[in-house]
Structure 1
Amino acid sequence: MAKKYRLGVVRKAVNVLVTAFLNRGVPIAGSTGWLLTTRGRKSGTDRTTPVNVIEVGGERWLVSPYGRVGWVYNLRADATARLRRGQTTETWEVEEVDAATAGPVLRAYVGKLPVTAPFFDAKASDPAEAFAGEADRHPVFRLARSRA
């Protein structure tokens, strides 16, 4: 049974540290970290959180390894993602993908960032189809079109 994500004190502290590093453009070892800014679906104010962006099949992807969290709902309401690391900012239109498309991306994500593995029922060695079965719990977004 996959572990449930809880934003506790330790995770909040880690997010503060990671955000500080990414604000300065300092990469985190073993990470593909960016700061994702979305428009709040209810408040309309900007919300920023650290995320990992991975490249699979020549495309870039946002994966929610911890499930349907705030930024997922925000992107569903407004499909514009601003990604920032240091002085580099990119604005993208995103599209949520279906389970069949998400499966190989989720598998690659767990392989690249094994710290997220406990939040999945599928194991890194499982086929992409096993991960496709979890796509409803781990939304995947294709970074579709840059708006420079």
Structure 2
Amino acid sequence: MARKYQLGVTRKAANVVVTALLERGIPVNGRTGYLLTTRGRKSGVDRTTPVNVLEVGGDRWLVSPYGQVGWVHNLRADATARLRRGRTRETWSVEEADAAAAGPVLRAYVRKIPVTAPFFDAKLSDPAEAFAAEADRHPVFRLARSRG
């Protein structure tokens, strides 16, 4: 049974450290770490959180390994993702992937960032179809078009 994500004291502290590093342009998790800013779906206030952007099949993807978190809801309400690392800033339109497209991306994500594996029922050795079965619990978004 997959673990349920809870934003506790340790994770909050880690996010503060990772955010500070990314703001200074220092890579985290290789070159996959970015700060994602979305517009709050209810408040309209910008919300920023550290995320990993993964390249699979020639596309760039945002994965929510911890499930239906705030930034997922915000992207569903406003499909604009602003990514930042140091001085590099990108704005993208996003498209949520269906289960068939999400499966290989989720599998690649867990392989690239194995610390997220406990939050999945599928195991590293499982085929993409096993990860596709979890796509409703781990939303995946394709970075579709750069907005400059």
- Name the counterpart of 1:3: 3
User: Aligned partners of 1:130, 1:29: CA distance in 2, in Å?
Assistant: 25
Q: Give CA-to-partner distance per residue, 1:79-116, whole Å, 9 cap, x none.
A: 00000000000000000010000000000000000000
User: Aligned partners of 1:41, 1:28: CA distance in 2, in Å?
Assistant: 28
* SS of residue matched to 1:111: helix
Give the RMSD, CA atoms, in angstroms.
0.7
User: Aligned partners of 2:101, 2:9: CA distance in 1, in Å?
Assistant: 34
User: Aligned partners of 1:67, 1:146: CA distance in 2, in Å?
Assistant: 25
Q: Give CA-to-partner distance per residue, 1:9-48, whole Å, 9 cap, x none.
A: 0000000000000000001244610000000000001000
- Name the counterpart of 2:128: 128
Alignment of 1:22-33 (within 5 A): 22-30=22-30, 32-33=32-33
Number of aligned residue pairs: 148
Structure 2 unaligned residues grouped into runs of 5+: none
* SS of residue matched to 2:89: strand
Segments of 4+ moved more than 2 angstroms: none
TM-score (norm 2): 0.99
Task: Please tell me the residue identity of whatever aligns with 1:24.
Answer: R
User: Aligned partners of 1:8, 1:73: CA distance in 2, in Å?
Assistant: 20
User: Aligned partners of 1:6, 1:116: CA distance in 2, in Å?
Assistant: 13
TM-score (norm 1): 0.99
